[in-house]
Structure 1
Amino acid sequence: MQYLQWIIKGMAMGAADVVPGVSGGTLAFILGIYQRLLAAISQFNLTAVRLLVRGQFKSLWQYVDGTFLLCLFSGILLSIFALAGVISYFLHYRPVPLWALFTGLILAALPQLCRSISWSKLRLLLCLLGVIFAVGISLLTPSELQPAIWMYFFAGAIAICAMILPGISGSFILLILGMYSHVLAAVTNLKVSVLALFIAGCIFGLLSFSRLLNWLLAKYHDASLAFLIGIVIGALYRIWPWQWQSKLYLPWTYPSATGDTDMLLAGICAVAGVMIMVLLLNLERWLGKPAVSDIKQHLD
């Protein structure tokens, strides 16, 4: 059952990664697997290479937490390939319900996130800085270009850093770089050579950036979590569904300002997002594993 939980959580991360403005790292952080993921990725080092060269495959698998990574990334890839077409449709034709779903997911998790650390004035300040950082990233203007082939590697390396940072969407970074539509087209059309180059860039960026984040969480645990919680809160600015021409609205005032007819569906999706997050947060208990009292216990 533990393996099934990891696959399901990976699927949640994959679905988030496809949407510009939502981060798979946010879901990993919320679901209590963030530091374990960073620690496992950071284990791909010289020691791992030596174990590989010596043929100690069992020791290597245990050293890099292979079963956890295999289940998680299987879920991520399954979700990306299964949902890329559906999410592309909603992004183009019904964006408000899609954003409402992810807003519901994050809002449902915020109380548990905020209970995961002991707050102080310094940590509140770091949380505020995290909010400002996330909003600042959200205000950047997306661009579009015709990429050279080498740019897929560069885009993968940059985007993956954002994907594992809660609140900062790798897909949105691809939008800013002008690469989002090209990468999504490569996934949809299975352009193997382009995807291979993009994945190589992702691996390079992932192995580099994960070490920094893992070190920060090990040395400055609660301070780092406070900043990350701020980033998650700030990300709501980017994905808030009820906004028009850079102005945010309350759900019940949005129709009068825009004439939008998707309000009922958006409300249903927001409630569905809350329910999905409750299910995800209670996977351990409902699938027969002992419940974990809070996220901090997952990370310690």
Structure 2
Amino acid sequence: MIMNLIRGFCMALADSVPGVSGGTVAFLLGFYDKFISSIDDLISGNMQKKKEALIFLIKLGIGWVIGFISAVSVLASIFDTKIYEISSLFMGFILFAIPLVIKEEKKSMIFKPSTIVAGIAGVAIVALITYFNPMSGQGTSINLSVLNIGLIIYVFIAAMFAISAMVLPGISGSTLLLIFGLYVPIISAVKSVITFDFAYLPILIVFALGILTGAASVVRIIKWALDKHRPIMIFLIIGMMIGSFYAIIMGPMTLETPKDPLSFETFSILWFVIGGVIIYGLQLLKKFSEKKA
């Protein structure tokens, strides 16, 4: 119970910031396949599998909620002012996570045309979404308290993409929200609701419905792809992780008051190293949990 709470807490910290996804944390902590299988069993398994999956996901979910609320209460207030330090932290997360993913999946690291194309495609997907992001440089002046059909559709689709990324051990859902220009508005909306300001509750319900729809439709595809075409999926994931460097560099341009992209002058080596230390701390936690098991 305690280990699953810690797992969920760590996933939430990753999911709540652009950088490494909760799926990457699950991957590094060694329970990713169980996580995906549990979601799949909850959707389509028999009664016994549904019960086992529900118990596991509830334990994980409690830790996730605690971690997410903790992160949101801090992030909404510092994201604008500390964007370059946070971006440097995210880059540390990703750079130090990639070799660990390669190490864990060395059996799947098969270089052939299909896997190489998958890796290139992973980089291209993230880079192109970032490059053609209509919010970049325009400011994120989206008022989530005033609903219209266009905003509802936009948030719903963004949520579907975000949850798809969150369950993949690659680019995080929060990075995609950053790309779509919705990261700060959604984080601020969640913080408002937590403090009993319900003006943003309707759009958060839309966001939640998008997450549920994305989870139901995407998880089974991901599980099938990992089971049947794991080498291709691993290369795709690593490619998306590499591509997310560009997304993070350009991230400051999606703020309400756009800032210059991350550069050598604004890059923080201290926060970059802290990101690496956190990733290797998660790896040590995985080894500890394996010894306890």
Other-structure match for 2:256: none
> Which residue of the other structure, out of 9, 12, 17, is the alignment partner of 2:10?
12
**Amino acid of the residue matched to residue 214 of structure 1?**
K
Q: Distance in 1 between matches of 2:124 and 2:260?
A: 17
Q: Distance in 2 between matches of 1:212 and 1:96?
A: 36
Q: Is the 8 A contact 1:167 1:232 kept in 2?
A: yes
| Cα 1:129–1:198 shift into 2, 3 Å | closer
Aligned to 2:42, what secondary structure does the other structure show? Answer: coil
1:29-55 alpha-carbon deviations (Å, 9 max, x no partner)? 34333332221111123545xx3xxxx
Structure 1: gaps of 5 or more residues: 52-57, 292-300
> Which residue of the other structure, out of 53, 56, 61, is the alignment partner of 1:68?
56
Other-structure match for 1:218: 227
Q: Is the 8 A contact 2:11 2:21 kept in 1?
A: yes
Aligned to 1:119, what secondary structure does the other structure show? Answer: coil
> Which residue of the other structure, out of 159, 169, 173, is the alignment partner of 2:172?
169
How far apart are residue 142 of structure 1 and its match?
A: 4.7
How far apart are residue 93 of structure 1 and its match?
A: 0.3
- The answer to whether the aligner puts 1:286 opposite 2:288 as a matched pair is yes
How far apart are residue 248 of structure 1 and its match?
A: 6.6
Q: TM-score normalised to the size of structure 1? A: 0.75
Q: Is the 8 A contact 2:20 2:93 kept in 1?
A: no
Aligned to 1:168, what secondary structure does the other structure show? Answer: coil
Q: Distance in 1 between matches of 2:176 and 2:123?
A: 17
Structure 2: gaps of 5 or more residues: 254-258
Q: Distance in 1 between matches of 2:72 and 2:249?
A: 21
Q: Distance in 1 between matches of 2:223 and 2:130?
A: 25
| Cα 1:19–1:109 shift into 2, 3 Å | closer
Q: Is the 8 A contact 1:171 1:180 kept in 2?
A: yes
> Which residue of the other structure, out of 82, 92, 109, is the alignment partner of 1:94?
82
| Cα 1:78–1:142 shift into 2, 3 Å | farther
- The answer to whether the aligner puts 1:204 opposite 2:213 as a matched pair is yes
How far apart are residue 240 of structure 1 and its match?
A: 4.5
Q: Distance in 2 between matches of 1:288 and 1:34?
A: 14
Q: TM-score normalised to the size of structure 2? A: 0.77
How far apart are residue 72 of structure 1 and its match?
A: 2.3
| Cα 1:97–1:277 shift into 2, 3 Å | same
Deviates more, 1:73-82 or 1:166-175: 166-175
How far apart are residue 288 of structure 1 and its match?
A: 6.4
**Amino acid of the residue matched to residue 127 of structure 1?**
G
Deviates more, 1:157-166 or 1:176-185: 176-185
Q: Distance in 2 between matches of 1:92 and 1:243?
A: 8
Q: Is the 8 A contact 1:103 1:241 kept in 2?
A: no
Q: Is the 8 A contact 1:140 1:176 kept in 2?
A: no
- The answer to whether the aligner puts 1:120 opposite 2:122 as a matched pair is no
> Which residue of the other structure, out of 163, 186, 191, is the alignment partner of 1:160?
163
Q: Is the 8 A contact 2:13 2:67 kept in 1?
A: yes
Other-structure match for 1:41: 39
**Amino acid of the residue matched to residue 103 of structure 1?**
M
Q: Is the 8 A contact 2:127 2:244 kept in 1?
A: yes
How far apart are residue 211 of structure 1 and its match?
A: 0.6
Q: Is the 8 A contact 2:12 2:65 kept in 1?
A: yes
Q: Is the 8 A contact 2:28 2:286 kept in 1?
A: no
Matches within 5 A, 1:249-264: 249=263, 254-255=264-265, 260=266
Question: How many residues get paired?
Answer: 267
Q: Distance in 2 between matches of 1:67 and 1:195?
A: 26
Q: Distance in 2 between matches of 1:205 and 1:30?
A: 23
1:7-39 alpha-carbon deviations (Å, 9 max, x no partner)? 323223222222245533333334333332221
How far apart are residue 125 of structure 1 and its match?
A: 3.4
Q: Distance in 2 between matches of 1:180 and 1:248?
A: 17
How far apart are residue 212 of structure 1 and its match?
A: 0.6
